[in-house]
């Protein structure tokens, strides 16, 4: 089963304990539910758009996580997707400059990435990894480890 989110909006200024967001959940490419968290702690709130698909997503989440509590089971998957969305958005913004990971920290350089600039920085910082030259999914995985 493939669960994804779209139309994701994160309101960082409204987050107190948990991330404040809204999104639309899709199951195998079909719109199944709306989800939101108001950022005050606690579980996500779901509104089924397609009840059978929503129920399948909850059952899948319960089975895959080994959880017997229906309310929290889908939260783990959705929260990971929202966090991935946030890291992806942040990295795309950062990659307008040159982004390097070294010793578990991300650094930016005020330059537009070219292979020549990447090579120059790589020579100066041989232990660093220039994210701009990597496929985006690989760069995202390395960036996520830093945070």
**pLDDT at 12 exceeding the cut of 90:** no
**pLDDT at 134 exceeding the cut of 90:** yes
Please give the pLDDT value at position 77: 92
**Do 85 and 119 belong to one domain?**
no
Please give the pLDDT value at position 83: 92
- For residue 13, the enclosing domain spans 3-90
**Do 16 and 85 belong to one domain?**
yes
**pLDDT at 69 exceeding the cut of 70:** no
Domain boundary among 75, 90, 105: 90
Tokens for 129, please give them.
Answer: 């990894």
Please give the pLDDT value at position 71: 58
**Do 63 and 38 belong to one domain?**
yes
Q: What is the C-alpha to C-alpha distance for residues 69 and 90, in angstroms, rounded to an integer?
A: 33
Which range is least confidently modeled, 60-69, 73-82, 113-122? 60-69
**Do 65 and 137 belong to one domain?**
no
Beta bridge partners of 99: 108
The predicted-structure confidence for 103-114, as pLDDT tens digits, reads as follows 999 999 999 999
Q: Taking residues 117-144, what's their average pLDDT?
A: 94
* Total structural domains within the chain: 2
- How far is residue 3 from each of residues 46, 63, 121, 132, 140, measured CA to CA in Å? 14, 14, 39, 28, 19
**Do 120 and 104 belong to one domain?**
yes
**pLDDT at 138 exceeding the cut of 70:** yes
pTM for the structure as a whole? 0.82
């Amino acid at each position: 089963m493939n669960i994804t989110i779209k139309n994701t909006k994160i309101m960082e200024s409204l987050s107190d304990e948990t991330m404040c967001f809204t999104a639309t959940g899709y199951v195998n490419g079909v719109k199944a539910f709306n989800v939101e968290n108001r950022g005050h702690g606690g579980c996500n709130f779901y509104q089924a758009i397609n009840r059978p698909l929503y129920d399948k997503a909850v059952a899948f989440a319960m089975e895959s996580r080994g959880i017997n509590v229906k309310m929290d089971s889908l939260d783990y998957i959705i929260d990971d997707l929202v966090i991935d969305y946030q890291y992806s958005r942040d990295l795309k913004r950062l990659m307008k400059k040159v982004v390097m990971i070294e010793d578990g920290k991300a650094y930016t350089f005020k330059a537009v990435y070219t292979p020549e600039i990447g090579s120059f920085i790589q020579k100066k910082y041989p232990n660093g990894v220039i994210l701009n030259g990597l496929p985006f999914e690989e760069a995202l995985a390395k960036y996520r480890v830093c945070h």
